[in-house]
Amino acid sequence: MAKSGPVNVAMIGLGWWGKKMTAVLQKAGDDIRIVCAAEPNPAGAEFAKTNGFAHYTTMREALAHPGVEAVILATPHSLHAEQIRLAVAAKKHIFCEKPLALTRKGAEAAVKACARNRLVLGMGHERRWEPPVARMLAMARNGELGRIQQVEGNFSHDKFTTLDKKNWRLNQKEAPVGGMTATGIHLTDLAAALLGEARDLRVSCEKLSSKIPQGDTMSVHIRFKKGGTAYVSASLAMPFISRFAVFGSKGWIEIRDKAHVESPAGWVVTSAMAGGPITVTEVPPAEPVKDNLVAFAHAVRRKAAYPISGKDLVTNISILEAIIKSAARDGAVVKL
């Protein structure tokens, strides 16, 4: 018999984003709840106490906490492979913050391990749960936009410019191409959802307005195997902007966030369909981070399949790996 009630999770990592997910899960109702956390920083103990769950310094201890069914990995990218291995061995479902891995091989290993053990693998691509983005994807799937020809996106902010230079988010090995792993990967996820597997790409990554070692300004041009192109850009040294646009033979849509998903304030959507006027509408705030985690919990409880497939995850990491290679080769074209 399938289990019922909230999915009991261990939060692995209580940094900036671990705290954000903790806050939204307080509003997740009866679907999912944090019962413990693992955080080596001593400040994690006080945060856990304040929020009413147990604290451990290691993931192994958290996995052994009574009743834990799943883990949420809000940890540096380089730790994901080993943490996923530990969770799979313990038969725990996994929700992983992006990126899943830095190589296609790593992504395939994670996806296959979860599938083999019948474990749900969720992914921190909350952009898909933003109401206007979800509607745009649905319109593309059902043919309302016609043949998708191009997509464009920019997701930039300056939140990292004041970080301590030892912070892992500024580590060139953890985040090798400007803002790609922080923000750009959300846009390539959406591009691949619309256009499929990539054919080839080339990247520009420069250090223009900061001392961030891996560069602060990047852009990538992607061609897809079934036709169509994507242009994605990201900066870690400019005021916040998040824009995604899709252009099809029957219509186009541009979505702009009013604020960072950390504190969502709604969206402005500009669009036009063939033969019709250009319209501008405002969409009220929502909490896509919460909605993604609830969708993960529903998949664990077998209420509905998790909507991001293993194939989608591998496709996006394949693009990321090629972007890393192109940047290391001074923008050379990399075939996938």
With 60 as the cut, is the pLDDT of residue 23 above it?
yes
SS (H, E, C) 169-221: HHCCCCCCCCCHHHHHHHHHHHHHHHHCCEEEEEEEEECCCCCCCCCCEEEEE
Report the 10 Å Cβ neighbour count for 116.
Answer: 9
Encoded tokens for 136? 């745009």
Looking from the CA of 305 toward its CB, the CA atoms found within 13 Å total: 5
Average pLDDT value for residue range 14-39: 90
Region 286-312: mean pLDDT is 96
SS3 (DSSP) at 138: helix
DSSP of 23-68: HHHTTSTTSEEEEEEE-SSTHHHHHHHHHTSEEESSHHHHHTSTT-
- pLDDT value of position 2: 63
- CA gap 34, 44 in Å, rounded: 14
pLDDT surpassing 80 at residue 33: yes
Just give the CATH number of 7-124: 3.40.50.720
d(CA 332, CA 145) in angstroms, rounded, equals 33
Label residue 13 left, alpha or beta by phi (over 0 means left) and psi (-120 to 50 means alpha): left
Is residue 291 a contact partner of residue 126, using CB atoms and an 8 Å limit? yes
pLDDT exceeds cutoff 90 at 37: yes
How many Cα atoms are found within 13 Å in the side-chain-facing hemisphere of 17?
18
pLDDT for 175: 87
Q: Is the pLDDT confidence value at 204 over 70? A: yes
pTM of the model: 0.95
* DSSP element (H, E) containing 313: helix 310-328
Q: Mean pLDDT across the stretch 274-284?
A: 98
pLDDT digits (tens, 9 = 90+) for 217-265: 999 999 999 999 999 999 999 999 999 999 999 999 999 999 998 889 9
- Residue 47 binned pLDDT confidence (cut-offs 50, 70, 90): very high
Percent of the chain as helix, strand, coil, to the nearest 5: 35, 25, 40
Output the DSSP codes for 259-298.
Answer: S-TTS---EEEEEEETTS--EEEEE----HHHHHHHHHHH
Right CATH for 127-335 from 3.30.1490.20, 3.40.640.10, 3.30.360.10, 3.20.20.70: 3.30.360.10
Q: How high does pLDDT run on average in the chain?
A: 95
Asked whether the beta carbons of 201 and 323 are under 8 A apart, the reply is: yes
Tell me the CA distances in angstroms from 23 to 26, 32, 33, 120, 188, one per residue in order: 5, 12, 11, 23, 27
Give the contacts of 42 (CB within 8 A, at least 6 positions apart): none
Domain locations along the chain = 7-124, 127-335
**Alpha carbon distance 245, 153 (integer Å):** 6
**14 Cβ contact partners less than 8 Å away, ≥ 6 residues apart:** 22, 37, 39, 41, 43, 44, 47, 48, 74
Q: Could you report the per-residue pLDDT of 127-180, keeping only the tens digit for each?
A: 999 999 999 999 999 999 999 999 999 999 998 888 888 888 888 888 899 999
The identity of residue 190, as a single letter, is L
DSSP SS3 for 239: coil
Tell me what percent of the residues of the chain surpass a pLDDT of 90.
Answer: 87
Q: Could you tell me the CA-to-CA distances from 247 to 194, 197, 229 in Å, in that order? A: 10, 18, 10
Residue 310: what pLDDT?
Answer: 97
Residue 82 near residue 20 (C-beta atoms within 8 A): no
Position 167 scores a pLDDT of 85
Residue 65 contacts residue 10 (beta carbons within 8 Å): yes
Beta-sheet pairing, 279-283 with 267-273: antiparallel
Query: If you count DSSP H runs as helices and E runs as strands, how many of each does the chain have, helices first?
Result: 9, 15
Percent of the chain with pLDDT over 70: 99
- Confidence at residue 27, expressed as pLDDT on a 0 to 100 scale: 78
Which pLDDT belongs to residue 172? 83
